[in-house]
Amino acid sequence: MKQAGFSSKYLPYLLLVPTFAVLIIFLFYPAFETFRLTFYKVHPYSGAEKFAGLYNLKKIFTNPDYLSSFWTSAIFAIAVIGFGLLTSLLLALLLNQNIKGAKIYRSLLIWPYALSPAIAGALFNFLFNPANGIIGYFTGIRTWMTNGSTALFVVIIAAVWKNLGYNIIFYLTALRNIPKDALEAAELDGAGPVRRFFSITFAFLSPMTFFLLVMNTTYAYFSAFGLIDVLTEGGPAESTNVLIYQLYKDFFVNSRIGYAAAESFILFMIVVLITVMQFQTTEKKVYYQ
C-alpha cells in the first residue's frame, strides 16, 4: 500500500502559516508586550513610554488594594476549586447510577457550562438582587449582595454552578472507564461501598481529578471576570475584587497601563507557580492505569 505524502516538502510548512500567524498576532505578541510594559511607565493619554525598571512591581506589593484582592482571589480560588470538584464528583456518582431519567438530569446539570459568564452573572443577580431578588423574597434576607461576606459567598456559588457541567462531563467519562471487574472483586472480598470508593473508584479517578484541579485553578483565577463584573463589580467595599478584576480596573478604568501589565505578569506567574506545585505534590498521588 502506497504511503500518502505531500507533493512538496515545503507544503506542510505553508499549511502551518495561518496557524502560526494567529498565534503570533493574538498570543505571543500580546504576551511579549505585556512583559515589556511591566518595566515602563506609560502616559494614559499620549501613550509615551518611560523606562521605570522594577517601579511597577514594587508599587504593586505596597498597594493595599492589590494585596486585598490577592487574598480575596486566594479565598475565592480555594472555595471554587474545593467545593466545585467535590460537588461535581458527588453529582457525577449519582448520575452514573441506573436511575430513571438519568439522561435528562445529565443534560440539565451540564447546560450551565454553555452559558456565558455574563449570562450566569445576570441570572444570579436576578436571584439575589436586594431590591427584587427571588432568594431575598423567600428567605426574608435582602443583604445578600450588600454585605461583603455574603456577596463573596454568592459569587463563589455562581462560579461553581457555572463550571459544574464541565467537571461533571469529565468525571462521568472517567467513571464509565472504571473496570467493573475490580469493583465486583472488591465486593466479593467484603469491601463496603465507602471502602470500594476510596480504594478503587477514586484511585481510577485520580488522573481526571488532577486534570480538573489544574483546569479549575486556571478558571478561578482567569475566567471569573465576566461573572463578577455583572454580579457585583468587585463590591461591596471591594469584597469580591479578585486579581483579574483589579487588573481590569487599573487598565481600563484608571488607565495605568504599565502598572496593569505588571499585575498581569504577576497573575500569570502566580498561576504558573500554583500549577507547578500541583504537579510536584498532587501528581505523586495520581494512579495511572
How confident is the model at residue 283, as a pLDDT? 64
| Residue closest to 103 by CA, chosen among 94, 95, 111, 93 | 95
Give the whole-angstrom CA distance, residue 99 versus residue 117.
31
pLDDT per residue rounded down to tens, the chain (289 residues): 556 566 677 887 888 899 999 999 998 998 899 899 999 988 887 878 889 888 999 999 888 989 999 999 999 999 999 999 999 999 998 888 877 877 787 778 888 888 888 899 999 988 998 888 888 888 888 888 888 889 999 999 999 999 999 999 999 988 888 878 777 787 777 777 778 787 788 888 888 888 999 999 999 999 889 899 999 988 888 899 999 999 999 988 888 899 999 999 999 899 889 888 888 877 666 655 5
Closest CA to 236 of 152, 121, 157, 160: 152
One DSSP character per residue, 149-198 reads: HHHHHHHHHHHHHHHHHHHHHHHHHHHHTS-HHHHHHHHHTT--HHHHII
| Helical packing angle, 117-128 and 148-176, nearest 10° | 130
pLDDT, position 5: 64
Q: Model pTM?
A: 0.87
In the chain, the domains with their CATH numbers are: 11-51 (no CATH), 55-285 (1.10.3720.10)
CA angle 57, 217, 91 (to 5 degrees): 160
